Every structure is written in C-alpha cells, then in structure tokens.
A and B are shown apart, each in its own frame.
Chain A
Amino acid sequence: MTPPPAISLRGVRKSFDSGKTFAVDDVSLDIAPGEFLAIIGGSGSGKTTTLRMINRLIEPDAGEVLIEGESVAALPGHALRRRMGYVIQGVGLFPHLTIAENIAITPKLLDWPRQKIDARVNALLDLVELPAAEYAQRMPAALSGGQRQRIGVARALAAKPHIVLMDEPFGALDPLTRDTLTEAYRKLHDQLGVTSVMITHDVQEALLMADRLAVMADGKLLALGTPQELAQSGLDARVRALLDMPRRQARRVRDRLADANG
C-alpha cells in the first residue's frame, strides 16, 4: 500500500471579497512525502494564500487540505502549526529572545523536557553551521541577514516537523548568500527527509532546488511537474515564457561577456 500524500489540496478556493474574485480558485495537487515542491508565479497569483491554507493561517472557503491523509480541520490551528516548519522572508526572529530561545520556541510550546530541548538547539545550530558556543546566547540583532535566516530555518526544523513551508525564504538576501543558503537548505531537506513547499518568484531558484514546480497565475494552478516534464509538454504560453526565462538570461549574459572580450 502506498503511503498517503504528505500534503493534499482538493478543490481549494479562497476569496477575500465575499466571492467576487478568488485569490485561490479551485486548486488541487498532491505532494509526496520527501518531495520538494516550488510554487512559482507573479505577485497576486495566489501562491502565498495557497501556502497559508496548508497550515491554516488562512481558512479555505471551499475544498479540503489533507496532511498525511488527515484533514487539517481535525486539529486546532496552533496545534497543527507546531507540527510544521514555517519560514518567511522577513524571518521574524523574536528580538527579545536569544538565538537559543528562538530556536527552542516550538519544542517549548510542545513541553519537551529541558535537556532534550538544549540538545536539539545545539544540534540545529551545528546543522545550519552557526557554532552553538559562539551564537547560542546572542540576540538576533547581532546577526547578519543570512545568519538570521539560517536561524529562521533552524527554528522551523526544531520540533522535527515532517513538513516545512517556506514563503520566499531567501528573497531578501544578497545573491551570494542566497546561493549558499539555497544549496545548504536542499542538503538539509535530503538529509532530514522532510517534505518542503517553497514559494519563490525566482524561476531559476525553483529549477535549481525543487523536485517539481507548480506554476500559478490568477489563483489558478497552470501547470505542475518536474522541470523536464514542464519543458517537454506543449504548454500554456505563459508557462513556457516563465520556464524559458533562465535560459534566455543565461544566453544574454554569455553574449554580453563575449562582446566585452571581443
């Protein structure tokens, strides 16, 4: 018997103006355990609303969200969210707590014993390559942007979730830091065997990191598949334009560099 999908969306809809327009309009998709899905699309495409319905920060108007075969409505929202990691672009570290206390927040809410929490915090700091001895007792304000997002990821992973949701997690970082972090996160994803859903508007990042891509526009799911599948299928022009972009850009960069050399 195959295990149920890690996350399953069934005909999910959401309107913020009492049904005149739909921010998310009849989206259905299954995400397998251990899969890395990237949701791409422009502003207002409904990707953030879709993500926030998975951990019930937003309640859908219609349809159903299942986690490992169980409806998310079975648990109170806060209890559901303690079982999932959540990473946002602004990071949102608690400025009045130390790095260690920030990472420990969800285990503490779950009443883990203290020793177990301490061990987990140290392990996570190692995992995100910020040595505990140096960083555990610092305040968030004393860290660089990249270091803060590493802590954001560590906090999301603290209570050993099976699922990690990320909303443009690396969007605010400089390109080099971003490159390092995306690679580091993909490694963590494989190492821990979690299921990850990441929103990005950077197609190249999505192509480099994800197992499958979901393309959204105007609240609808336009396409869903691996990079190869999407490239091969005769698709909607918008999807093709989006997927072609990294290649076009790479070509232009090469041409310009060649001009400069010649």
Chain B
Amino acid sequence: MDDRLTAAWSRLPDYLSQHVILSACALLLGLAISLPLAITAQRNAVIRWPVLTVASVIQTIPSLALLALFYPLLLALSAATSGFGLQFSALGFLPSLLALTLYSMLPIIRNTVAGLSGVDADVLEAARGVGMTPNQRLAQVELPLAAPVIMAGVRTAAVWTIGTATLSTPVGQTSLGNYIFTGLQTENWVFVLFGCGAAATLALIVDQLLGLIESGVAQRNRRRVLIGVAALAVGVAAAIAPSFVSARATYSIGAKGFTEQYILAYLVRDELEEHGLVGRRRAGLGSGVVFRALAASEIDVYVDYSGTIWSTQMGRTDQPGREQILSEMTTWLHEEHGIVALGSLGFENAYALAMRRARAEELGVRSISDLVRVAPQLRIGGDFEFFGRPEWAALSDAYRLRFANQREYQSTFMYRAVADGAVDVISAFSSDGRIAALDLVILEDDRGAIPPYDAVLLVSPARANDETFLAALRPLVNAIPVEAMREASLLVDREENKRSVREAARFLAEETGLD
C-alpha cells in the first residue's frame, strides 16, 4: 500500500473519533435548543418571524467565518470571566461546537414549525375535546404527528453538521478536516481525497440510519426506529472509543498551517518523546489564533518568527537589527504575556519577494529597488495573510511599490502560480524548499524594510517553570541550519517521490543530529 495511504489509515481512529464526538454533541445541542424554540415559535406568531429569520441569516454566514468568529469571542469571554474563577479553553472544541450547533438549527426549526403547523385542525380540536392539557396535546398528538417532518429536518442538519465539522481544524479542533487541511498545505492529495471520502462516508451512513428512523416514525414501525437508534448508538460508541482509550496528552504542540510548521511540530513531539514526555500536535492553526492560544496557555509550545512578533504583535515598524529585535522581543513576550522565548532554532524564515529566475533576468531585476521600475506592469501573488500584514505595508511604503494586480492564494497554489507565470512576483518564505526546486530567485531587500524572521521556540506562561519540559526543548535551540530545514520541507512539497510530514521530521532529526 502507498505510504501516504498507510499514514492516512493510521490517523483515522483519532480523527474520526474527534469528528464524531464534535458532530454528535453539536447535533444534540442543536436539537435541545431548536425543538423548544420551534415549538414556542409555532405557537406564537410574534416570535416566529424573528426566530426563522435569525436562523436563516446564520445559515448565510460562511461556515469557516462562523467558526473563526467564535474564537475571539470566547477568548474575550474567557478573559472576562477568569476574574470570577471561571476559565475555559477558547480553542478547539468549544468554538467548533457553538458554530456547528448554530449551523444545525435552521433545518430543525424550519421542519418542526412546518410539521406542527401541518397537524389537522379536527385532530387538534378533538385533542382538546377529550380533555388533554396543552402539554399532553403536544406530547401525545402534535409531536408524534409532526415527527416524520421533524426527523427529515434532523437528517438534513446531521449531514450539514458532519460536512461542516471538517472546517473546525483551523480553530484547533481535530477532525476529518485535518486530512484536508494538511493535504492541501503539503500537496498530499491522497490525504485530501481520504479526508473527503471519510467525511462523505460518515455523512452517508448517518443519513441512512436517520432515514431508517424517519421511515420507522412515519410508518409507526417501532422496530425500524429501534434498529436505527441502536445502530447509531453502537456506531457512535465505536467511533469515539479511541478517544477514551488513548493516553491522555500531556503537552500540546501548536503549529500554523504550512509545511515547515507541520514538520517542526512533529520534530518537537519526537524530541519530547525522547525525554519521556507525551506531546499532542494541534496543527493548522491560524497565525493569530496560535499566538493567542499560547498566551492563554491553551497550547504549550510552538515555533513563531521574530519578525512576525515584532511587527504583528508588538506593532513595531523600526529596524534595530537582528540581535536587538530578538532581545527586545524576548523581554516584551515575558513582560506582556509571561511567554518564554526559549531561543532561535538556528534558521530564518523571512517573508521575501521572489520571482522566476528567467523572468527576473529578462527584466533585469535583482533587488526590490530594481522591481519598483517595472512593478506597474507586473502581477504579485501573496498568501492569505501577506497583504494584510504590517510587513507588506512597510515594504510597499519604503519602496513605493505599486503592482498592476495583486492576488491571494493558498500558499501551495501561490508557488504554482509563479511557476506557471500566472503572477510575476510572490511573497515567498526564505526557508521554503520550493524556492530552489522551482528555480526562483529572492529579491534583495536593499533598504532593509523587512525585519529578520528568526524561528523561535515559544513556551506558554503555564509551562514557564516546567523544567522537565524546558529541558526537553532546549536541544532544539540553534540546532537547525536553514539548508536542513529547506531540504526537509522540499521532501514534502516536491511533486515527485513525496514524503510524509512525519518522515520529513525524522529526516530533519537525522540531518541535525537530534535523534
């Protein structure tokens, strides 16, 4: 079997289990909120319109945005309530759960209102006439008669929830989406297909079982309902079992969503393991999310870059030089957030402008100053973050850069775009193996507008005094030369003979003598 397929299978118990727990909780919570809400709305015309409208509006919010919105919201809430001794994790499960719950509500509410409104008027009159109280009418007549329509809504909600749960990876919740996001970043299409296939299969199975229950309810066939419910219960129990069997993770390792970060997360985990510690990766986090998660001690360690902290977190635009930036950053992190900057890993991964060598030579461009002249005829591509970052503002101000056109890409596709000539210039990462592989040249920052980006190991406030942990991480400091990092990334990113992230991490450990 293909190595990547083997790797995909080996992660299935963990991913599937987390996915099922998340989807099931969201659906149950959605039901618990939607049913009473729909029943009240059906009886009360004044609130019916607002309830249905709000549920519809929620549905129109792109699901990824809804998930992303809950993180800062919960973080603020957590900070506000921590004074009262109430603290919760704003990362991962909770924001995903809330977003998915909201998402599941519309079909349930809509079908419940429709189902209840469809109950025959004579039957309702008779229910009053025989002496039922309003609650007895609801429980014995209205809900049973509306049940098939309600179940159809639950079925729709279940399929939506399972599909949308794949998007919870970037807010730190493990799900089948991990295959898709990791696969997309590392151009591992086996992973992407595997993730899609697994989520679709899960949705289909759940849909069929709920369909069985639905038809059982409609035909008042108790056996069908029982079989459906039992199969669902057994399936859920089997799927979530690995989460309770597997050892509890001790240390949580964060990573942003690109190849280098995925590799480093594995490297850190292997390093902890050698020191007898258990680490669990939470990869694919947004770069703002990951910093706040560390500051809130929701993750214990991750690798960030000095320039990023300098401009994005500290809001500095001056350029006092590499050593100065490192030391000021270390002090600032400690004083502002209690974060420990353990030290540089030994390489830099700077934002840099890159072009195809042939194109650069044709235009006579070697430095960014050379670029200014021809930029109005050129197209620039950046990753999703780049044009929103202070570095880009500093860069375009310092050189007065104006391009004909600027476009944003997922980073894998950004490299493709420059290689294909769809754009002329991209915002590359200096430690990226693809620069050499695609024969790109990095344009010299001759005015020094971009700060240095030393990769630094950051440790959360909660682990600041955990000597065992710090001791396990220290061997990584100054251990990784940029060439080794580039080579390891390229193993994953290249087209031919691709390796898995895990293998690349092992390669890096061997190269640097860490193992």
A-side residues, CB < 8 A to B, are 55, 57, 78-83, 86, 88, 90-96, 105-106, 109, 152, 155
Tell me whether B447 is interfacial, beta carbon within 8 Å: no
In the bound complex, do residue B126 and residue A81 qualify as a contact, i.e. CB atoms below 8 Å apart?
A: no
13 sampled A-B residue pairs with Cβ under 8 A? A57-B125, A57-B128, A82-B131, A88-B122, A88-B125, A90-B120, A93-B123, A95-B120, A95-B123, A95-B145, A106-B131, A109-B130, A109-B136
15 additional contacts, CB 8 Å, given A57-B129, A106-B130? Answer: A55-B129, A57-B125, A57-B128, A81-B131, A82-B131, A86-B129, A86-B130, A88-B129, A90-B121, A92-B125, A92-B129, A105-B130, A106-B131, A109-B130, A109-B131
B144 at the interface (CB under 8 A from A): yes
Residue of B at shortest CB range from A80?
A: B131
- Expressed in whole angstroms, the minimum distance between the Cβ of B112 and any Cβ of chain A is 17
In this assembly, does B378 line the interface, its C-beta being within 8 Å of a C-beta of chain A? no
- 9 A-B pairs with the lowest CB-CB distances in the bound complex, closest first: A92-B126, A90-B122, A82-B131, A86-B129, A92-B122, A81-B131, A92-B123, A78-B133, A106-B130
Q: Which residues of A contact B130 (CB under 8 A)?
A: 81-82, 86, 105-106, 109, 155
**Looking across the interface, which residue of chain A has its beta carbon closest to that of B141?**
A94
Chain B residues near A93 (CB-CB < 8 A): 123, 126
In-complex Cβ contact of A94 among B121, B126, B128 (8 A): B126
Instruction: Provide the residues of chain A in CB contact with B220, threshold 8 Å.
Output: 96
A90–B123 Cα distance when bound, in Å, is: 8
B237 at the interface (CB under 8 A from A): no
Residue of B nearest to A155 (CB): B130
Q: Considering only CB atoms, which chain B residue lies closest to A152 in the complex?
A: B126
Residues of chain B contacted by A91 (CB below 8 angstroms): 122, 126
A141 to B394, CA, bound (A): 77
Bound complex: CA A78 to CA B132 (Å):
6
Docked CA distance A44–B130 (Å): 25
Q: How far is the CA of A94 from the CA of B125 in the complex (A)?
A: 11
B125 proximity list for chain A (CB < 8 A): 57, 88, 90, 92
Residues of A within 8 A of B144 (CB): 96
> What total of chain B residues lie within 8 Å of the partner, measured CB to CB?
20
B419 beta carbon closer than 8 Å to chain A: no
User: Is B127 in the interface zone, CB < 8 Å from A?
Assistant: yes
Whether the Cβ atoms of B123 and A94 lie closer than 8 Å is yes
Whether B132 pairs with A92 at a CB distance below 8 angstroms is: no
Complex-state Cα separation, A94 to B122, whole angstroms: 9
Chain A min CB distance to B207 (Å): 25
Measured CB to CB, the closest approach of chain B to A140, in angstroms, equals 10
A80 CB → nearest B CB, Å: 8
Task: Please state if A92 and B120 are interface contacts (CB–CB under 8 Å).
Answer: yes
Cα A86 to Cα B126 with chains together (Å): 8
Task: Give a binary string over B267-293; 1 marks a CB under 8 Å from any A CB, 0 the rest.
Answer: 000000000000000000000000000
A79, A90, A95, A96: which contacts B131 (Cβ < 8 A)?
A79
Residues of B within 8 A of A152 (CB): 126
Interchain nearest-CB distance for B314 vs A (Å): 67
Proximity string of chain B (103-129) to chain A, C-beta cutoff 8 Å, 1 when within and 0 when not? 000000000000000001111111111
CA distance A7 to B159 in the complex (A): 57
Q: Mark B202-230, 1 if CB is under 8 A from A, else 0.
A: 00000000000000000010000000000
Residue of B nearest to A76 (CB): B133
What is the CB-to-nearest-CB distance from A162 to chain B, in angstroms, rounded to a whole number?
A: 14
Which residues of the other chain, A, contact B129 by a CB distance below 8 angstroms? 55, 57, 81, 86, 88, 92
Question: Are B127 and A81 in touch, CB under 8 angstroms?
Answer: no
CB distance from A187 to the nearest CB of B (A): 23
Query: What residues of A have a CB within 8 angstroms of the CB of B120 in the complex?
Result: 90, 92, 95
Instruction: Find chain B residues with CB under 8 A from A86 CB.
Output: 126, 129-130
Complex-state Cα separation, A57 to B131, whole angstroms: 10
Q: Which of B310-342 contact A (CB under 8 A)?
A: none
B58 to chain A, nearest CB (A): 33
